[in-house]
Structure 1
Amino acid sequence: MEQVKQLLGNQRGNMTVFVLTIFFFLSLVMFTLLFNMSTIFVDKEVAANSAQQASIAAVQIIYEEAEEAIREYDSSIAGMLDPDFIMVKVDLETMRLRSIHPDWSESEVRYRAIDNVLLSHVPANGVLYGYLYQGLESAQRKIREAAGEILQANGATRSGSVVTMFDSDMRIEVETSVRYQSDTFGLAFLNTVTEKVKQTAKSRRIAFAEVMGWGGKRITL
């Protein structure tokens, strides 16, 4: 009788160990899957944020170059012969927009003012167009370097990322990726997966680009 009780006890003990082993194994598998899924979401967020920051920087560069082009035009012979200086109009439009849109940021007010003035003046002014075209060429070179540095600093993949000036809606589009690699936590039956998690971000609309004929230019980093 004692031997039977001991045998049953050993069986129950073995079954308990077996159940605990299975439970631990399944828990490890579940943890591995959840960990890798969460890593993918984090990598997507990193890629998306990096692309968004790069697009914002690109917009800033474009409008800085546009303002420089306007200043150069105003100080040129062609500009001096015409007392209707473009930068004066931009400043007046900036004040007008600021008064009717106090909730807008200073950068948005300025960008919108530049858009409004250039949209009405560039089509009839070939000299101004020439200065702005040179400004966009300068912006393209600067964007390549600035966007690359931002993506790299934020953990995104610089090589192979693409900045498009401009898409069909006159926006800057940045496509980048983050290198994802799964973790098996020692589970030999799981394969290690390595791939690029791609994300795309678009900037505000750059309205004056409509009259520049500058669309679809891809900058490969």
Structure 2
Amino acid sequence: MDPTAAPHHDLSALGLFLQADPIVKGVMLSLVLASLASWTIIIEKFFTLRRLRREVSALAAAGEGNGAPTEDGLAAAALRAGMAEWRDGRDPAETVGEHRHRIEGAIRDAAGGALHRASAGLQILSTTGSVAPFVGLFGTVWGIMNSFSGIARSNDTSLAVVAPGIAEALFATAIGLVAAIPAVMAYNRLSSSFAARRRAANEAASRLARRLARRRPEIASGLRAAAE
């Protein structure tokens, strides 16, 4: 074996991680954990949005007089809030429009609260998308600094000496981009989807409030029973 031959470097993903500087390893691990957290949130919100679509549809159906929600959730909570205001009745000094507005506000507040709770976690996607590339860049800069320090100590500028260290450093940036890109795309998509659900819920709240404001207690007994 030629003693002057350059040492073998494993340029696989695992090899680049194991050979990296401890600080660069910490950067890589933090980015991998951020990516796993992002994907967990993305998958969970996908199923949450499917559920919210059904619940908002149930609220819209109640507003159109096509039945009341049969399961607990956004629609049932919004209906209970609206019915609570409706049962209080209209104040003698209150116009019909003000009474309807009060009922609508209660329904919207309940639906908005449910949507706000369901959207928890989107901030993690936003933070990951914004910060991960810079964290990866920090790991890259640190790794390149170490590579140049090694070059200075060995007085050898051959590609075989320089390339492994730079590859390890650049791998941190690659992981940062892998974590950031899906997080940014998912955040934009999920934010627009939650906004669409909120608009649909507000429209359903307006229709339901108009329906309740026109009804006397004995006419709305079906909705009252469903809300209790």
**TM-score calculated relative to the size of structure 1:** 0.36
**TM-score calculated relative to the size of structure 2:** 0.35
Structure number with the higher strand fraction is: 1
